[in-house]
Structure 1
């Protein structure tokens, strides 16, 4: 859906954390969605396009968001391990850089959990204060990303007073249904009730942004995209290679271009957002991106991956078509709920481990068969092993209760999906199969990140041309001097260099490359 340069649309991203499609507009599509009170997001879907089957590239924020902002599969570019600082291939860039180079104003409300350090010229404004209203020219098109922590897993576990304060605008939930993969205990009943109330609070926050867009007269020429990064922050969701870990809400509204009330039933990936945004705004889509333009998708599959989570070493690869999910665990001898310090201190994790320990006492101390957890719940916290392959018919079994892998009647489906997964991994690459220490040794020779080469500056009759010999680098310049206070983030305003220009004042030039240290400032006198 390209558009002319004279009518370039704005792009507004609104994202949240740690939820599945528990929005009212997904009722009948996602189990339990009808329990959520989300009038503003329901209205957004009614005015735009709802993707019924959207999937994250990873079941945790950093790798997932790296895929969204680069359009690349995390294991192919090295961003698959949670809490790493990868060095992607030189062609990989962050989406807002393309927009800024095309003349857009770019902003982001602080959250940049992309697994790489963000070069300063990528955004005009980065921080909680960022807003399209900060543009100097109100006619300049913008790419603005708002990120909220309202639904982050950490918010489930606050004390009652703090939770009430932070959800003052939420619709209260008297009783939430606990799905079969979780034990029906007070801990989980409370957690699920709070989860739905946080979604309601987040919906209210979304509404305030959409209201501002209307107030400014920008709604008709703005592409609005709502998404979450991965599944809910309870066991078997976030950090798990499951439908619950990968399945996401995704809504896009573009008045006059996308028919109101549209639905798209085929599987798509959040990784497709980067090429889609570029295409919708009439910009070129780089050939290295692994994502596809949503409106031109040719693949019937979406591939996702689970790798190291904190100190929990694991590797799983998963593929989804319209009906089935196939998952392969490279370490089936490891527990699906291996110890990870941060979530192990959350009460849903503690509760599941407590119940599992009680079952062990049933067997070891009293010789009784385990009866506290169901077979399904037990697979989440199994002490040592799991099936090496899993296959689920999501249409018939949305909670993934019945593993079909190995059953003769599903052999053709399993083989088809396994072959498609192998083909994808061979085509894109899979660095997750390599020891992480080997990758770090390549990225950080002698234990240090390489430094981007200093800019080479040529000046003729006041016209300044700047180049950098580091492959994959970007160049920025500023008129703000490097004073002692400039170390504070956001104090110096960096411009993205795209072509030779004539400075109106003395400038400082600097170079960046993803995964590298930036070079030192180079002053250029007027």
Structure 2
């Protein structure tokens, strides 16, 4: 079957994304850059960094999974497109697309293995394959360039707290000599120095070593396929570590990420980049590096171009926000420059460690609350509490300051709040203004009541329907399709509908994985010839809308 002509440059790079969950730059290659990184055992990622570029100041746009991933996959701030709450099914503006669709439109073979969680239902037009078996090796033509994403779950916070047998299985590739001993755990000062926290940190690090083994396997597969030299590999985490005052907190530990890029022959081995970057910048960077246009609506900035030339200062500031976390209602915004982090809490009367059904049973959360409870018992006896430091007590406190300011260069663990100190008034004012300007420039939907936002998206609780595509043959006998719904993408398939469609799992529903209807949907990129007598089904999807009805017709060449 004839397909639309590719608009790729002559030798576009293959792209492999390798992402993990819930880690800071706790990798050996970040020793001396990130506190405690020397504890890590990560030979494969250390080698990857040595062979490419290590970014020392990369930050998520939100300190929790789904909002952070939405920014990476759209190139837009979650607060600007409505994807800031954890979790939601947003209706972003009609011009928003998920990144792989741009590559697929350009002729790339696009796969995702397998996690999505982009805050929208993922249309089947985005990936050629999205499953636990999706792989560049499945592409029909060995010469076709590919965008292959692998999203590992090994380091997710839930794994830290597995039962012993389950944890041993989850870290089965970590040899005894690579295990991390709790006594050596480099606990930050905001954690109580207890066996619970030392065990959690050691387990967190063992999971990183297990993840590193998985990364090594993917790199070996590229080598086996003779693709290492022609493939750009990008490694990133969605946000910070899965412990209190990290994941879900708009602090350094909630937002600071590892980011490594290897591109043989283009990016010089051993490159170290210190500029401020959002992981959101990955979307425009991948397009620019591949010679593809960057949509004007993307908020991110390209970090380098197709010749490996780096932008010296793509971001003067980096921004992020914390919004609803499951049933926990909250709103915080933060801005970071090269030295200071400023945080604005819109609800200072609420604890940063609000009750969450998901996290409350986790041992580190229990430990914090138990120590706070025991300190209350000391007060009952007229004693001075001494089980937590003031810094540790602030993590679980019922209230927090309306504003926080930290000199991260001098105080990487953010232990001393400088807001209110006269000598830092100019820094406070400067970052306040930067945050205000950012909100005014891009908008901040997180400041609206969520109920109002949902009513705008789905009036009366009903999702809007994508219009059925209009399909016809032109004078040359080419199949032409269009959809009148603004922002819709059109897909077509030769596979007939089936009544034997497997039920979606609750996780797939929650994370917005593509519907598995047993059919391969091609992205419509322009008119094409269908073989004589072929029945072609055509459907349209608009992010946040219900998909269109199918249009199926037998087409015969005139």
- After TM superposition, the score normalised by the length of structure 1 is 0.98
> What is the rounded CA distance, in whole Å, between the counterparts of 1:460 and 1:289 in structure 2?
34
Unaligned segments of structure 1, at least 5 residues: none
Report SS of the residue matched to 2:155: coil
Cα pair 1:107 1:144 within 8 Å, conserved? yes
- Which of residues 463, 466, 469 is equivalent to 1:449? 463
SS in 2 for 1:122: coil
Question: What CA distance in whole angstroms lies between the structure 2 residues aligned with 1:67 and 1:219?
Answer: 28
Task: Please point out which of 230, 241, 246 is paired with 1:221.
Answer: 230
1:189 aligns with 2:216: no
Instruction: Give the structure 1 partner of residue 40 of structure 2.
Output: 36
- Aligned equivalent of 1:249: 258
Task: Give, in whole Å, the separation in 2 of the partners of 1:168 and 1:339.
Answer: 33
Conserved in 2, the CA contact under 8 Å of 1:40 and 1:206? yes
Structure 1 residue 299: deviation in Å?
A: 2.6
- Aligned equivalent of 1:301: 317
Q: Does 1:116 align with 2:125?
A: no
Match of residue 417, structure 1, among 431, 439, 447: 431
Unaligned runs of 5+ in 2: 1-6, 305-310, 504-515
Checking the alignment, whether the CA contact within 8 Å between 2:124 and 2:521 is kept in structure 1 is yes
Deviates more, 1:347-356 or 1:59-68: 347-356
Q: Distance in 1 between matches of 2:52 and 2:204?
A: 26
RMSD: 1.1
> Helix, strand or coil for the counterpart of 1:14?
strand
Q: Of 332, 350, 359, which aligns to 2:375?
A: 359
Question: Are the counterparts in 2 of residues 303 and 318 from structure 1 also a CA contact under 8 Å?
Answer: yes
**Conservation of the 8 A alpha-carbon contact between 1:486 and 1:492:** no
Q: Distance in 2 between matches of 1:525 and 1:4?
A: 32
> Quick one: distance in 2 between partners of 1:4 and 1:259?
24
CA shift at 1:174, angstroms?
1.8
Picking from 403, 406, 422, the partner of 1:392 is 406
Cα drift, residue 418 of structure 1: 1.0
Among residues 209, 214, 221, which one is paired with 1:200 in the alignment? 209
- The residue aligned with 2:511 is none
Aligned 8 A contact 1:453 1:470 in 2: yes
Moved more, 170-179 or 125-134: 170-179
- Cα offsets for 1:348-385 (capped at 9, x unmatched): 1111111111111111x2011211111111111002x1
Mapped pair 1:463 → 2:478: yes
**2:282 corresponding residue in structure 1:** 273
Q: SS in structure 2 opposite 1:286?
A: coil
Distance in 2, matches of 1:97 and 1:413, equals 41
Q: Is the 8 A contact 1:70 1:93 kept in 2?
A: yes
Shift of 1:406: 1.0
Do 2:275 and 2:314's aligned partners in 1 also have CA atoms closer than 8 Å? Answer: no
Answer yes or no: is the 8 Å Cα contact 1:456–1:468 preserved in 2.
yes
CA contact (8 A) 1:5 1:282 kept: yes
Partners of 1:241 and 1:360 lie apart in 2 by: 27
What residue in structure 1 maps to residue 140 of structure 2? 136
Matched residues in 1 for 2:314 and 2:357: separation? 41
Structure-2 residue corresponding to 1:232 = 241
Task: Tell me the secondary structure at the aligned position of residue 304 of structure 1.
Answer: strand
Match of 1:508 in 2: 537
SS in 2 for 1:187: helix
CA displacement, residues 303-340 of structure 1 (integer Å, 9 cap, x when unaligned): 01110000110000001111111110011111111111
Which deviates further from its counterpart, 3-12 or 206-215? 3-12
Map of 1:297-446 to 2, 5 A cutoff?
297-363=313-379, 365-383=380-398, 385-446=399-460
Contact kept? 1:125, 1:490, Cα under 8 Å: no
**Among candidates 483, 487, 490, match of residue 475 of structure 1:** 490
For residues 411 and 177 of structure 1, the distance between their equivalents in structure 2, rounded to whole angstroms, comes to 33
Q: Name the CA distance, whole Å, in 2 between partners of 1:314 and 1:375.
A: 23
> Residues of 2 paired with 1:326 and 1:500: CA distance?
51
Q: Do the aligned residues in 2 keep the contact of 1:126 with 1:490 (CA within 8 Å)?
A: no
After the TM superposition, which of the residue ranges 174-183 and 111-120 deviates more from structure 2? 174-183
TM-score, normalised relative to structure 2: 0.92
Which of these residues, 293, 299, 306, is aligned with residue 290 of structure 1? 299
Q: 1 CA distance for matches of 2:469 and 2:459?
A: 22
Superposed CA offset, 1:121-155 (max 9, x none): 11101000000000000110000000100000000
1:182–1:188 Cα contact (<8 Å) kept: yes
1:496 to 507, 523, 534: 523
1:141-152 matches, within 5 Å, as: 141-152=145-156
Q: Deviations over 1:69-93 (max 9, x none)?
A: 0000000000000010000001110
1:484 is paired with a residue of what secondary structure?
coil
Q: Distance in 1 between matches of 2:234 and 2:409?
A: 26
SS of structure 2 residue aligned to 1:120: coil
- Structure 2 Cα separation of the partners of residues 494 and 161 of structure 1: 41
Deviation at 1:490, TM superposition (A): 5.5
Q: Deviations over 1:166-208 (max 9, x none)?
A: 1111221123122211111111111000011000000000000
Q: Is the 8 A contact 2:492 2:522 kept in 1?
A: yes
Distance in 2 (CA, whole Å) between partners of 1:247 and 1:172 is 24
Structure 1 residue matching 2:519: 3-state secondary structure? coil
Deviation at 1:460, TM superposition (A): 2.8
Q: CA deviation at 1:470?
A: 0.6
